[in-house]
Structure 1
Amino acid sequence: MKVVRKYGKASGQCINFDKSALLFGKRIAANDRKQIKDTLGIQNEGGMDTYLGIPEDISGSKCKLFAFLKEKLLHRVNDWTGRWLSKGGNEVLIKSILLALPTYVMSIFLLPLEICENLASAIAQFWWSSNPPKRGIHWAKWEKMCAPREDGVIGFCMIHEFNLALLAKQLWRLVQYPDSLVARVLQGKYYRLSSPLRIGAVDNPSYVWTSISAARKLLLLSIRSKMHSGYEVNVWQDPWIPSTPARPARTRAQ
């Protein structure tokens, strides 16, 4: 309870014990569970439900865990089967609704490639089918349909790449706002004496941190660091020298 109260003071959030739930491991005896419930004043048990659309228990097979995303997407598509829309209308529905459905989950977790392929397959079937739920002829590869609009195509999102981009945004926020509560919590556990962009292997990381770390390479491709004193620069590993051909020196604009 001291830890709970301390969290409430640090975050400014008041915990509602009536809506809270406890998640017990399989080895916790029934008597111990009852004693913990009575001590904390929380009688609900969790682990099998969802919170804000995300499963409470992130363990086991990730493909089975995130299979609900495809079911949710297919349920939405089935609601549209009776509507005869133009290709322009289908494009708006796909971009504004179908591709936006898993956005919240993808901003926190790295979806398995199998789930990304299943979602892309369901969206592609909806796009090419002229009489849903019958399968239509796919006249072009989905990768080509996801090319930029400047190339003269539709410009849908590649779900896996979109997932990494959302996770890279979370990692960038840890760099930009190191004094935020979530940044301080993650720093205390995973990169206490380093930076979120420089840490190596971590023992027993959470799936959230594993997901955020997966976007590190993508973020490093698009950022530059200021040298300052050079104390934190590793000349043997950091790409601080431009690649061949070397970039010429330029004067700073006045």
Structure 2
Amino acid sequence: MNLLSEFCASFGQMINLQKSFVKFSLNTPPDYRDYLALSLRLQSKPSIGTYLGLPNDLGQSKVSDFKILIDKVASRLFAFASLRLSAAAKLVIINSVLVVSFNHILSVLKIPSFISSYLDSMLASFWWRSSGFRKGMALRSASLLHLPKRLGGLGLRSIGCFNSALLAGTGWRMMLNPQLLVYRLMVSKYPFHFALPATRITRPSWGCRGLQLAMSVVAKGVRWKTGCGSSVRITTDEWAPGVLVSFKDGLSESELPTHVSSIIDPRSNVWDSSRVHRLFDGLIGLPILPKWKIFAWKVVHSTLPVASALSVRGLSVDPVCCFCRHEPETVAHLFRDCDFVSLLWGGSSLGFHRPSLHRLPFLHWFSTMVSLFGATKDWVGLINFFSILWSIWLSRNNVRFRQLDVSPTEVLSLASQWCARGQQAQNFCLKSSSLPLRPRPSVTAFSTCCYGDPLSGLDICLLCDGSWSSDNSTGAGWIFRDCVSPLVLNGGARASLSSSALHSELQAYFWGLHSAYSRGYRRILIYLDYETLCLILGRRQRSDVSLCWLIQDIQALLSLFEAYRI
């Protein structure tokens, strides 16, 4: 009481003892409770009461404390049951009326899984119910109803997931606003509560458990802003959207970098593309036949049905190599270590000799060979490599399943046929990728991009050009010239970074247009020396998706001019 009197004297307020009460712990003896309540001249109550429909003092049984939500929803469902609502109306009522009625509870406290599951069952039963108080028949599981509409569901609120989402929002707001009183209280009691990734806290309160769940949800969704990458670990931190980054198979530990900064060019601050391809590019991106890509994937991941693997799985097959008839048929033995196969590698155009074949483990050797061909862009050597592997596999199947006899000469002849097919397919792909998506138009289309009435007179002539270097550095320049004379009026230049020559040309074009508009020119004649750029702006050729936003900005800027001609 002395403490309360000191508080009243300090703040100039009085406590109404008639409206106040005291609550004791359950471990306090009853006679001692009565004595303390009489001494304090306050009445004793077993519970603090409720706030916004929820008990303030939660007991050990959280299910019994949160059953009030079940009663609340059940009473509202009883009121809606007689309205003969359509399925669409019920969906709106569930998401916008019933669930919203206890949003304030879901956003601060974790609902026990039993309560959330029971509420989901009640709401789904209400939606399936045909009319009145008749029990409906659920023709599909509730998980389909809870799927978002874009994924084929109905978007029905799942109480447990919705509870986690609201708690995550609360935790995130507290992290972004450390000046809040609730944040300071939580951090003072649980110092590592808002650490990412979420840390385990011993003996937390129920409210802290809910926020701890929120931080675990937030930790799954947050990503690094990479920056220079010196503090971001490649395989441990979640810096790439939606996935933990991992290196491709077959690389040695010594050549694996640890931080993102090691795969960024320090001079240009862009990705070191050659190293990125060497570390992360898989087999699917190689310019080889699609069946070879799947075949290589099976080799790397040990899913090729060789005899030893089938024998281990209980199939009655002969596990001995069908070529040498001495060793078990494993992937390494079949494609490299067999004496018969060693003759093939030695007699091929690649000229592998037996000591060099066995210097590395098979998977490491296989990945190193593929990476070496890819890094040097030796596509002919890559096709030769895969044609021999594929011919060995085909010959093995002929011997094992068709009882045919094969010689090294026949296998090499088969490999040369597949090599020719691979080179033919590769030449077709390279030729197709280098051609425009539509037939190349005549040069007359080079000057047909017009808007407004350029024949009635133009204010200025704009000439712009961009340059690009292999280190991704870019230079852009533009000048303004009189339309009827070679007199140069003014101009500008700018340095930047870009991913390609087309990107640099687009940047120069955008900056030149922006400069022309800011100087007050509204009717312009534009000269370009890059025909592909004209075709893209004239919507006669598609562009790379990475440039579509810059092209949209250019087209939006062009729409501001009264007239232009390219």
The aligned amino acid for 2:135 is: R
Q: Which moved more, 1:68-77 or 1:18-27?
A: 18-27
Q: Tell me, in whole angstroms, the C-alpha distance in 1 between the residues paired with 2:20 and 2:226.
A: 47
| Residue 216 of structure 1: aligned partner | 215
Deviation at 1:172, TM superposition (A): 0.8
1:149-181: CA deviation from partner (whole Å, max 9, x where unpaired)? 223432112211111111111211221111111
Q: Tell me, in whole angstroms, the C-alpha distance in 2 between the residues paired with 1:207 and 1:234.
A: 34
Deviation at 1:129, TM superposition (A): 0.6
TM alignment of 1:76-155, pairs within 5 A: 76-155=76-155
Is contact 1:67-1:115 (8 Å) kept? yes
Distance 1:206-1:19 versus aligned 2 partners, 3 A rule: farther
| Residue 187 of structure 2: aligned partner | 187
- In structure 2, stretches of 5+ residues that fail to align are 248-259, 265-269, 272-496, 499-566
RMSD: 3.8
Is contact 2:197-2:219 (8 Å) kept? no
| Residue 205 of structure 2: aligned partner | 206
- In structure 1, stretches of 5+ residues that fail to align are none
- Specify which structure has the bigger relative contact order, considering alpha-carbon pairs within 8 angstroms and separated by 6 or more residues: 1
Q: Tell me, in whole angstroms, the C-alpha distance in 2 between the residues paired with 1:101 and 1:77.
A: 12
Q: Tell me, in whole angstroms, the C-alpha distance in 2 between the residues paired with 1:176 and 1:207.
A: 22
**Count of matched residue pairs:** 246
Is contact 1:110-1:164 (8 Å) kept? yes
Choose between structure 1 and 2: higher strand proportion.
2
Residue 101 of structure 1 aligns to a residue in which SS?
A: helix
Deviation at 1:199, TM superposition (A): 5.9
Considering only CA atoms, is the larger Rg found in Structure 1 or Structure 2? 2
Q: Tell me, in whole angstroms, the C-alpha distance in 1 between the residues paired with 2:38 and 2:196.
A: 43
Residue 179 of structure 1 aligns to a residue in which SS?
A: coil
- How many percent of aligned residue pairs carry the same amino acid? 26
Normalized against structure 1, the TM-score is what? 0.79
- Tell me whether 1:239 sits opposite 2:226 in the alignment: no
Q: Tell me, in whole angstroms, the C-alpha distance in 2 between the residues paired with 1:226 and 1:17.
A: 56
Q: Tell me, in whole angstroms, the C-alpha distance in 1 between the residues paired with 2:86 and 2:40.
A: 57
Distance 1:237-1:14 versus aligned 2 partners, 3 A rule: farther
Q: Tell me, in whole angstroms, the C-alpha distance in 1 between the residues paired with 2:163 and 2:32.
A: 40
Deviation at 1:205, TM superposition (A): 1.4
Distance 1:15-1:76 versus aligned 2 partners, 3 A rule: farther
Q: Tell me, in whole angstroms, the C-alpha distance in 2 between the residues paired with 1:44 and 1:134.
A: 47
The aligned amino acid for 1:131 is: S
Deviation at 1:91, TM superposition (A): 1.7
Distance 1:114-1:30 versus aligned 2 partners, 3 A rule: closer
1:181-228: CA deviation from partner (whole Å, max 9, x where unpaired)? 111111110016x74435633332111001110122210122235689
Is contact 1:47-1:57 (8 Å) kept? yes
Q: Tell me, in whole angstroms, the C-alpha distance in 2 between the residues paired with 1:234 and 1:206.
A: 33
1:119-156: CA deviation from partner (whole Å, max 9, x where unpaired)? 01100111011123221111222111111122343211
Distance 1:206-1:20 versus aligned 2 partners, 3 A rule: farther
Choose between structure 1 and 2: higher helix proportion.
2
1:41-60: CA deviation from partner (whole Å, max 9, x where unpaired)? 65352427322211122122
